[in-house]
Structure 1
Amino acid sequence: MPSDASNSNGRSDRRSWSEAVTVYRHPRVLAMLFLGFSAGLPFLLVFSTLSAWLTEAGINRADIGYLSWLGITYSIKVFWAPVVDNLKLPGLTRLLGRRRSWMLVAQAGIAAGLFGLATSDPAMSLAPVIAFGFLVAFSSATQDVAIDAYRIEAVKKDLQGAMAATYQLGYRFGLLAAGAGALYMADFFTWFAAYTTMALLVGVGIVTVLIIHEPEINKDRLEVLKLPEVEAFLGGRPAQGGLAVAAWLYGAAVCPFVDFFRRNGRMALVILMLVAFYRISDITMGVMANPFYIDLGFTKSQIASVSKLYGLVMSLAGAFVGGVLVVRFGLLRPLFLGALLVAVTNLLFATLASLGPDLGFLVVTISADNLAGGLAGSVFIAYLSSLTSSSYTATQYALFSSLMTLPGKFIGGFSGEVVEALGYHSFFLYAAVLGIPAMLLVIWVGRLEVLRSARLESTAESA
Structure 2
Amino acid sequence: MLVFNRHLLQKLGTALMLGMGSGIVYAFLVSTTCAYLKESGLSLAVIGFFSVSTMPFSLKYFWSPFVDHYKLKIFPDNFGQRKSCIILMQMFLFVAIFGFGFIDLVEHQAWALLLLVIIGFLGATSDIALEAYRIELFSKEESGIGNGFVIYGFRIGFIVSGIFGLWLSTILPWRNVFMILALFILPCTTVIALSPDKKVLRDKPKRTTYGKWLKSYFLEPIVSLIQMPKFIWIMVVIAFFKVGDAYLDTMSLPFLMEIGFSKSEIAGVAKTCSTVGAVFGTFIGSVLISKFHFKVMLLAAEILAAITNLQFLILLKVQKNLLILGAINFVESFCYGISNIALITYMSSFCSKKFTATHFAILLSISALSKALLSPTSGVVAQNFGWQNFFVISSLFSIPSLLCIYLIYWRNNKTNLPYK
CA distance in 1, matches of 2:158, 2:58: 19
Q: Counterpart in 2 of 1:258?
A: 223
Which of 123, 128, 131 does residue 111 from structure 2 map onto? 128
Cα deviation 1:238-281 (Å, max 9, x = unaligned): x56xxx2222222222222234345xx22333322221111211
Change (3 A) 1:146 1:268: farther
2:150 alignment partner in structure 1: 167
Following the alignment from structure 2 to structure 1, what is the Cα–Cα distance between the partners of residues 150 and 383?
Answer: 36
Q: The residue matched to 2:78 in structure 1 has which SS?
A: helix
Question: In the superposition, relative to structure 1, how do residues 273 and 409 fare at CA in structure 2: closer, same or farther (>3 Å)?
Answer: same
Q: Which residue of 1 aligns with 2:173?
A: 190
2:248 matches 1:285 = yes
- Trace 1:166-245 onto structure 2 (pairs within 5 A): 166-214=149-197, 244-245=209-210
Residue aligning to 2:318: 355
Q: Aligned pair in 2 of structure 1 residues 180, 396: CA closer, same or farther (>3 Å)?
A: same
Contact 2:22-2:154 at 8 Å conserved across structures: yes
Between the aligned partners of 2:409 and 2:204, the Cα distance in structure 1 is 35
- Matching residue's letter, 1:175: F
2:37 counterpart of 1:74? no
Q: Is the counterpart of residue 53 in structure 1 residue 45 in structure 2?
A: no
Q: Is the 8 A contact 1:120 1:129 kept in 2?
A: yes
Separation of aligned partners in 2, 1:269 and 1:385? 17
Tell me what 1:431 maps to: 394
Contact 1:169 1:319 (C-alpha < 8 Å) held by counterparts: no
Change (3 A) 1:351 1:210: same
User: What is the Cα deviation at residue 211 of structure 1?
Assistant: 3.8
C-alpha spacing 1:112/1:213, structure 2 compared with 1 (3 Å): same
Indicate if the aligned counterparts of 1:40 and 1:170 stay in contact, CA closer than 8 A. Answer: yes
Indicate whether 1:374 and 2:337 are aligned: yes
Q: Is the 8 A contact 1:161 1:326 kept in 2?
A: no
* Aligned match of 1:3: none
Match of 1:114 in 2: 97
Moved more, 339-348 or 439-448: 439-448
Which residue is equivalent to 1:400?
363
Letter in 2 for 1:248: W
Tell me, yes or no, if structure 1 residue 441 matches structure 2 residue 410. Answer: no
**d(CA) in 2 for partners of 1:388, 1:316:** 26
Aligned ranges 1:11-22 → 2 under 5 Å: none
Aligned to 2:121: 138
Determine which of 86, 97, 104 is the counterpart of 1:103. Answer: 86
How far, CA to CA, are the matches of 1:141 and 1:335 in structure 2? Answer: 27
For 2:222, the aligned partner's letter is: F
Structure showing the higher helix proportion among its residues: 1
Partner of 2:71: 88
1:286-435 alignment to 2 at 5 Å? 286-329=249-292, 331-435=294-398
SS at match of 1:67: helix
8 Å Cα contact 1:224-1:252 kept in structure 2: no
Q: 1:202 to 1:282 in 2, by over 3 A?
A: same
RMSD (Å), alpha carbons: 3.1
Q: TM-score, normalised by structure 2?
A: 0.88
2:140 and 2:283 mapped to 1: Cα distance?
Answer: 17
8 Å CA contact 2:14–2:192 kept in 1: the answer is: no
Quick one: which amino acid aligns to residue 298 of structure 1?
F
Give the distance between the partners of 1:444 and 1:224, measured in 2 at CA: 45
| Higher mean displacement: 382-391 or 120-129 | 382-391
Partner Cα separation in structure 1 for residue 76 and residue 267 of structure 2: 40
Judged with a 3 Å threshold, the aligned counterparts in structure 2 of structure 1 residues 173 and 333 are, in CA distance, closer, same or farther, namely: farther
1:345 partner letter: T
Distance in 2, Cα, partners of 1:332 & 1:39: 30
Change (3 A) 1:122 1:394: farther
Q: C-alpha offsets along residues 418-463 of structure 1, whole Å, 9 cap, x if unaligned?
A: 11111111111111111232233334444599744499xxxxxxxx
Q: Which residue of 1 aligns with 2:230?
A: 267
Which letter maps to 2:108? S
Q: Cα–Cα, structure 1 residues 33 and 445, in superposed 2: closer, same or farther, change >3 Å?
A: farther
Rounded to whole Å, the distance in 2 between the matches of 1:97 and 1:442 is 42
**Number of equivalences:** 413
Quickly say closer, same or farther: Cα 1:113–1:391, change in 2 above 3 A: farther
Q: In structure 1, list runs of 5 or more residues that go unmatched.
A: 1-18, 226-238, 456-463
CA–CA distance in structure 2, aligned partners of residues 157 and 270 of structure 1: 31
> Do the aligned residues in 2 keep the contact of 1:100 with 1:209 (CA within 8 Å)?
yes
Q: Alignment partner of 1:412: what SS?
A: helix
**Cα distance in 2 for residues equivalent to 1:450 and 1:134:** 42
Q: Distance in 2 between matches of 1:122 and 1:299?
A: 22
Residue 178 (structure 1) shift = 1.1
- Look up the match of 1:249: 214
Residue 172 of structure 1 and its aligned partner are, at CA, apart by: 1.5
Q: Which amino acid aligns with 1:96?
A: F
Assess if the C-alpha contact under 8 Å between 2:269 and 2:325 holds in 1.
yes
Give me the whole-angstrom Cα distance separating, in 2, the residues matched to 1:331 and 1:161: 19
